[in-house]
Amino acid sequence: MKCVPAPRRRRNHNFDLNPKRRKEIVQHALLVGAMDTEDRSRWLIAWHWHNCKATDPIWSLMEAAKRMGGKITEAEASVITEEASITPKHRKADDLACWLGVTYADRQALGLTTIGSVDVKKRARKVLRRRKDRLYQECRRRARGARPQSESLSRTKPWEALNMSRRTWERHRNKQRDASSSAAIFLSSDDRLATPAGGARMASERGFASKEARERPSAAPPEAAIKARGLPSSQTATMLAAVRYESLPAELRLLALGLPLPQNLARAA
């Protein structure tokens, strides 16, 4: 089978590196105090290399010197621009780091990404980045509850201590897990077992009151007492209708309730 290489990531050709690199040159100049040294023109020359789109390069260079913590005159800025035009440009990350003397410690302290370092080259920085990312991902996995490789089942092999195969050990473990997860659980404090002691309470909840409760007179109105019995909705509606038509004559009450009239009442009517 033919090996197909992974697609290369396309670069964004519209990205302009110069503004970010100018900012990092100013940051390094402030860190090392470049404007107080005799080689301050190095940082100004490097800044001018990456300011090719300026309409007034001399004024821009004077403002850059102010941001670096110093001050130059217009004549000094003109001399620096002429020197930058005849000096070979150092545009690559490591070449610019050698020109400015940027160390790996300075690069890490400032968070520089477009300037390399003089003591740690590009390949070594790539290895360090991978190692840092690997440690970061490992800490994330530990925080989520993942076990280290030395504590994995493939390393510990607990089934060998029980003298059984891994498949048999996993089958027993799954059975124990299913048995523990299917145990009966009361969902609330109101859940109770169906014991004989609770039979009376359950009967009263269903609408069948005890003999003492039936003999005890109720101070509540007839409709409230009917609703409190907990009867089904059809029986409750019939009893409420009977109470409502209690003042009517017997034949009218039976007609209102939709019940047949007895023969004696029908003959009398």
In the numeric block, the tokens 């302009």 are attached to: 16
pTM above 0.85, yes or no: no
From 127-131, 137-141, 239-243, the region with the lowest mean pLDDT: 239-243
Cβ contact 98:90 at 8 Å: yes
Give me 108's structure tokens: 């890490």
pLDDT tens figures, 73-119: 999 999 999 999 999 999 899 999 999 999 999 999 999 999 999 99
Q: In this model, does residue 208 exceed pLDDT 50? A: no
Q: In this model, does residue 221 exceed pLDDT 60? A: no
Cβ contact 91:5 at 8 Å: no
State the pLDDT at residue 144: 86
Integer Cα distance of 136 and 159 in angstroms: 33
What confidence category does residue 229 fall into, taking pLDDT thresholds of 50, 70 and 90? low
Q: In this model, does residue 11 exceed pLDDT 70? A: no
CA contacts within 13 A on the Cβ side of 234: 0
Burial class (CB in 10 A: 0-12, 13-18, 19+), 209: middle
State the pLDDT at residue 80: 93
The average pLDDT across 219-236 equals 53
Give me 35's structure tokens: 């404007």
Tell me how crowded residue 145 is: count the other CB atoms within 10 A of its CB.
Answer: 6
State the pLDDT at residue 206: 46
Burial class (CB in 10 A: 0-12, 13-18, 19+), 29: buried
CA contacts within 13 A on the Cβ side of 110: 24
Integer Cα distance of 83 and 101 in angstroms: 19
CA-to-CA dists, residue 137 to 54, 145, 152, angstroms: 44, 13, 18
pLDDT tens figures, 132-157: 999 999 899 888 887 777 777 777 88
State the pLDDT at residue 31: 93
From 39-43, 57-61, 63-67, 261-265, the region with the lowest mean pLDDT: 261-265
Cβ contact 47:26 at 8 Å: yes
Q: In this model, does residue 263 exceed pLDDT 70? A: no
How many residues in the chain? 269
180 or 39: which leads in pLDDT: 39
State the pLDDT at residue 1: 52
pLDDT tens figures, 148-198: 777 777 778 888 888 889 899 889 889 888 887 655 444 444 444 444 444
Instruction: Locate the domains of the chain by residue range.
Output: 18-123, 210-260
pLDDT above 70 as % of the chain: 62
